Amino acid sequence: MQANGWGSRCIWALGLAMWVFSGAARAQSSVAFYGLADAFVGELHPAGARGNAWQVGSGGMTTSYWGMSGQEDLGHGLKTVFTLEGFFRINSGQSGSFTGQSFFGRNAFVGLAGDFGKLTVGRNTAPLFVSTLLFNPFGNSFAFSPIVIHSYLDSALGAAPVQGDTALDNSLLYQTPQLGGLSGSVLYSNAGVAGHPGQANYSASVLYFAGPFSATAAVQSLHTTSILLNQATAQTAYLVGGAYRFALAKLYAQYEHIENNSPVKDDTCQLGASVPAGAGSVLMSWAGTWRRQAPGANVRWMTAALGYDYPLSKRTDLYAAYRYDKVAGVPSGSSMGAGLRVQF
């Protein structure tokens, strides 16, 4: 009887273990740690800047970041997802792409994904920024990409044309599944403060990738006054872009129009190309901004960049780039750098 009792207990324990592990198999989960480290040696001297100095810089071609993300399979094609990503400055070891940026400044969200697409809640990258970086040869380089510099950095013109960060706090982001190369994203965020004078912020985009041709259209409307640093209380930005891969080169083009509820309006064009050369690619881009500060008061800004990107492996590449800036009425500027970018 004792042996039979122990046998029944073993069978029960074995059955429980099989049930637990079968449940784990149905609800598979995974977590990944990853990132990118980018450092360069050079000089950044925008138009109108006083003096110059050689430096060891961070994020010459891509802003250095680290992150972790995961998912859990809930069954029936549904899964939970999360992402936590932060920028860092590899030249100083400091967190954030700039002083004061939140620890997980790149992305911090949790959500659900399935056949319906993906819905995430938290701090999400703005669709407008994604469209900007995808349709120029220098990607999201804040050191050498003319369209990124013209859109997101302050200059001799004054405050950056596009206000706010590249990601928006307190946001919900819905991304559609891809259908025939077409996909879309819609983001909504608010100030998170009851009675705040301006709460709703929106960003949306449509992306198309099919064969050698790709295109985008994006819009962003900001009304949270605390993130507008250009004396306006509302801003709307529009962007259209396209690219075509020929046998010998890939060509890029973008047009961006920005309106504020102030006299300031900005129009920016970008033309670029990526040309294979040896094992690497020659990168070329030009951007021009026309700022209307007041009726009859217009200022022009032009930036041209030339670079070469050489892959050492699938995860590591060397690059060198030169940038020329000219703003009407102030001395021109020249920037250059050579760096190493490593993905992990």
Closest CA to 169 of 199, 197, 140: 199
Q: Please give the model's pTM, rounded to 2 decimal places.
A: 0.88
Listed by start position, the domains of the chain span: 116-343
Task: List Cα–Cα distances, 43 to 49, 206, 263, 315, 342, in angstroms.
Answer: 12, 36, 34, 25, 21
Which tens digit of pLDDT belongs to each residue from 256-280? 999 999 999 999 999 999 999 999 9
Contact partners, residue 9, CB within 8 Å, separation at least 6: none
CATH number for the domain formed by residue range(s) 116-343: 2.40.160.10
Say which range, 15-19, 56-60, 145-149, 222-226, has the weakest mean pLDDT. 15-19
User: How many DSSP H helices and E strands does the chain contain?
Assistant: 3, 18
Tokens of residue 93, six digits: 């070891």
Q: Please say if the pLDDT value at position 315 is more than 50.
A: yes
Which tens digit of pLDDT belongs to each residue from 22-41? 444 445 789 999 999 999 99
Q: Per-residue pLDDT averaged across 231-251, rounded? A: 96
57 phi/psi in degrees, rounded to 5: -115, 165
**pLDDT value for 27:** 54
CA dihedral (42, 47, 53, 57) positive or negative: negative
Report the C-alpha gap between 94 and 158 in whole angstroms.
27
| H or E element that contains 140 | none
Q: Please say if the pLDDT value at position 238 is more than 90.
A: yes
Report the percent of the chain where pLDDT is more than 90.
Answer: 81
SS3 assignment, position 211: coil
The pLDDT-based confidence of 198 (bands split at 50, 70, 90) is: low
Q: Residue 303 in contact with residue 283, Cβ under 8 Å?
A: no
| Residue 303 C-beta-side C-alpha neighbours within 13 Å | 32
Contact partners, residue 96, CB within 8 Å, separation at least 6: 86, 87, 88, 89, 102, 103, 105
Say which range, 26-30, 122-126, 291-295, has the weakest mean pLDDT. 26-30
Which tens digit of pLDDT belongs to each residue from 71-120? 999 999 999 999 999 999 999 999 999 998 999 999 999 999 999 999 99
The pLDDT-based confidence of 194 (bands split at 50, 70, 90) is: low
**pLDDT value for 16:** 43
| H or E element that contains 61 | none
